[in-house]
Structure 1
Amino acid sequence: MTTTAAAPVIAARPAHRDPQVLRWLGAFTASTLGDSVYYLALSWAAVSSGTPAQAGLVMTVSAVPRALLMLFGGVVADRLGPRRVVIGSDTVRCLVALGLAATLFLASPGLWILAAVALVFGAVDALFLPAVGALPPRIAPRDQLARVQGMRGIAYRMGSVLGAPLGGLAVAVGGSATAFTVAGVLFALSLPLLCALKLHALPSEGAEADGTALRDLTDGLRYLRGHRVLGHMMIVVLLSDLGFVGPLNVGLAVLAEQRGWGASGIGWVLFGFGTGAGAASLLLTVWGRVPRAGAVSGWTMVLGAVSIGALAYVPLLPVAVGVALSIGLLAGLSGALCNALVQTECDPAYLGRVSAVSSLCSLGLAPLSFPVTGAAIGLWGPGPVFAVSAAVCALSGVYALLVPALRKAELPGA
């Protein structure tokens, strides 16, 4: 039940020199850029077509199908194979974005069409995210998965950092229609790279495709619960994200207002965080393997929690940027190590479903803390709320260190 299936032995080659990995990385970068441009274009179009409240509703519509369908998205990834699912997802996103761009060029539709597009993207995300999580073991050997996660982190940060100004430039030049066109083209760029991938056949792949979708899902959850490492890892992921996303997404704006940093201050703090996270990804890409990965992940979560708590008590913006950089460095390293451990510990036949549970914890359940964090800050101020959030983050690290199987978890030798 808890046996880890090993990938076939192939010629040793560093991930950053592997054409397969580089094709995947290019496709992932293009897709991430497209995602960033799409969300900026959707936000601008929604604000331009309705009230701020209506725009907020449009932006949150995609969260519903993503949360409801994520687990079944993992079943689909395991049944059909992750590459097919990722190609199909980016194809749908490309066609929908270009279709919306054409509609906006020709007419001025109401908010309903924006909400419909957001709904489609949410459903596609429920398929895309588990499949993306299941792809790396099929394109790289197990001893390179830490490097692959580092490279994925760099690509994600590049997409986030470059996507927003690219989308803003597209909106400035030609409005939302142009920005949606750019997003569609970026999604299209990922397709030939994905189609060129040659995936390694993994042991027991496709062994669970005979039952119903619900039975496959139940079997995957049973496998996850019984695994000596993975079940505990999902608890760590949920706790760390619950304590992390509220302060960084809601509390930071309150801090900037109270300290007089302004909107530019928020940007600088986020820049510090992004720089730290990018540095962590780069370090992991260079190192290739971190000894005692489970223990290192736990300790970085604990230390990152200290930085999160300290952020609420820093009066000067330059110091806050430095604290945010340390948060990004520690959180980025622990997150990449968790992802690499999940992929090396998991039986390939269940990887899509396990990735779906991990994505649901971080992207589906953790954002539910946003309104709670906002209400709590309104009642007690940012200091106590940041302290409680930091305690939750620290609890995730302590849990990882107290569970022997997690603490002793190792990545394969590079």
Structure 2
Amino acid sequence: MTTTATAQPRAATGTPDRPAHRDPRVLRWLGAYTSSMVGDSVYYIALSWAAVRAGTPAQAGLVMSASALPRAVLMLGGGVVADRIGPRRVVIGSDTVRCAAVLAVAALLFLSSPGLWPLALLALVFGAVDAVFMPAVGALPPRLTGPGQLARVQGMRGLAIRFANVTGAPLGGLGVAVGGAAAAFALAGLLIAVSVPLLISIRIRELPSDATARPGRPTPWRDLKDGLRHIRGHRVLAPLVLAIALGDLGFVGPLNVGLALLADERGWGASGMGLVLAGFGAGAGLASLLLTVRGHLPHAGRAAGSALLAGCVAIGALAFVPQLAGAVGVALLIGLLAGLSGVLSGALLQTHSDPAHLGRVTSVAGLVSLGLAPLSMPLSAAAVGAWGTGPVFVASAAVCGLGGAVALAVPGLRRAELPR
């Protein structure tokens, strides 16, 4: 496969773009994805509750973090699997495995009190499955709709994630209240199960390079190296992947463990931290809604870099806002800017990648945010303990800002556009 080095999006396949919000295939995929994500949110509530009840706080923490390691180790291989087998098959298989694993643990908890081992095993299974599921999810939209609709699809996906975050936790809590962790796990499994028939009903279109993504090609290791060469030699993808990685690495610490420590330091309590997170979620939701409605923004590369650069200033400022109301407002701004940058970056990634490499490109882009960044949270907590929230938030903001600087400094990415 010849490495693409142009900054222009790949050409459309000849099929006219139907508006994504009116396309039955996209809507079925969105329903499947939303149900799966809500199930994930319920699963995490059930897992945390069951782990706390079955072991010590330290043991519960280990169980909750067990999925991060296989996700980080296997993510690049997951991109190869998605490209070789096809993203639709991988997503269907991933949701089937996750559903079966969660329902098996639910049945085990109904019948006995097995302790922590099945919970740890379930977390490891989820992490391993996520490593192939996430690259496949990123590679699927270009096979559902035309290039001109990918920004809108990314906005719709963002809305689905926000909906899952808002509804999943209450549903998980309700499941625990009604029937304990076993009932919550059963509910999570049923929600994930809803996605499988919806995904099976979707008929995707083949893209020009799909024939090269089937079995019979060289070894997976050569496929992985080929994907990395595709990114490294591309004038848009190489700086875009770097910008995404820096932005996510600087973002994860402050908005997760850092925010909890900041709320404790300011005396806002758990309710105050929840309000700040709600502000962030509302801002991210507004960004997703904007792209869903408009479907296109001009100067996408410049807009993504500018939003990331402005967002880093807001992240640094959050540590110095004394009042809760002001912190909620700053968090809303962070969510709006981070959401805008994320949606545009995702759409650029999909429109500028060769279809046969898209799973591998997505896996590399997601490796830091979904695999490595969660492992850095204990380091962020230790840094806050040593130097305080202010310096850590500022340092994290500087890392995030480097991503914006890369996006604006590299001409290929700065001038990158989304097709109409």
TM-score, length-scaled by structure 2: 0.97
Aligned to 2:370: 363
Aligned to 1:26: 31
Q: 2:48 aligns with which of 18, 22, 43?
A: 43
Cα deviation 1:43-102 (Å, max 9, x = unaligned): 110100000000011111111111111111111111111000000000011111111111
Aligned to 2:341: 334
Amino acid at match of 2:327: A
Aligned to 1:247: 254
The unaligned stretches of length 5 or more in structure 2 are: none
Output the CA distance in 2 between the equivalents of 1:149 and 1:33: 17
Amino acid at match of 1:24: W
Return the offset for 1:5. 4.0
Return the offset for 1:371. 2.1
Asked whether the equivalents of residues 79 and 206 of structure 1 are also in contact (C-alpha less than 8 Å), the reply is no
Asked whether the equivalents of residues 5 and 203 of structure 1 are also in contact (C-alpha less than 8 Å), the reply is no
Cα deviation 1:254-287 (Å, max 9, x = unaligned): 1111111000001000000000000000001111
Amino acid at match of 1:342: L
Output the CA distance in 1 between the equivalents of 2:111 and 2:253: 40
Asked whether the equivalents of residues 7 and 142 of structure 1 are also in contact (C-alpha less than 8 Å), the reply is yes
Q: 2:138 aligns with which of 133, 136, 149?
A: 133
Asked whether the equivalents of residues 17 and 147 of structure 2 are also in contact (C-alpha less than 8 Å), the reply is no
Aligned to 1:295: 302
Do residues 354 (structure 1) and 361 (structure 2) align? yes
Amino acid at match of 2:120: A
Output the CA distance in 2 between the equivalents of 1:99 and 1:190: 18
Aligned to 1:142: 147
Cα deviation 1:311-366 (Å, max 9, x = unaligned): 00111101100000000000000000000000000000000100111111211122
Output the CA distance in 2 between the equivalents of 1:12 and 1:85: 25
Aligned to 2:185: 180
**Mean Cα displacement is larger for which, 44-53 or 10-19?**
10-19
Count of aligned pairs: 413
Aligned to 1:396: 403
Q: 2:126 aligns with which of 113, 118, 121?
A: 121
Output the CA distance in 2 between the equivalents of 1:409 and 1:358: 17
Return the offset for 1:12. 3.1
Output the CA distance in 2 between the equivalents of 1:200 and 1:7: 12
Output the CA distance in 1 between the equivalents of 2:78 and 2:245: 19
Output the CA distance in 1 between the equivalents of 2:376 and 2:243: 16
Output the CA distance in 2 between the equivalents of 1:295 and 1:374: 33
Aligned to 1:193: 198
Amino acid at match of 1:23: R
The unaligned stretches of length 5 or more in structure 1 are: none
Do residues 258 (structure 1) and 265 (structure 2) align? yes
- Runs in 1 of length 4+ with deviation above 6 angstroms? none
Asked whether the equivalents of residues 5 and 348 of structure 1 are also in contact (C-alpha less than 8 Å), the reply is no
Aligned to 1:380: 387
Aligned to 1:99: 104
Asked whether the equivalents of residues 68 and 374 of structure 2 are also in contact (C-alpha less than 8 Å), the reply is no
Asked whether the equivalents of residues 36 and 164 of structure 1 are also in contact (C-alpha less than 8 Å), the reply is yes
Output the CA distance in 1 between the equivalents of 2:265 and 2:81: 47
Map 1:150-161 onto structure 2 (within 5 A).
Answer: 150-161=155-166
SS at match of 2:384: helix
Output the CA distance in 1 between the equivalents of 2:73 and 2:280: 30
RMSD of the TM alignment (CA)? Answer: 1.0
**Mean Cα displacement is larger for which, 168-177 or 11-20?**
11-20
Q: 2:288 aligns with which of 277, 281, 290?
A: 281
Asked whether the equivalents of residues 17 and 145 of structure 2 are also in contact (C-alpha less than 8 Å), the reply is no
Aligned to 2:176: 171
Return the offset for 1:6. 2.9
SS at match of 2:210: coil
Identity across the alignment (%)? 67
Amino acid at match of 2:57: P
SS at match of 1:291: coil
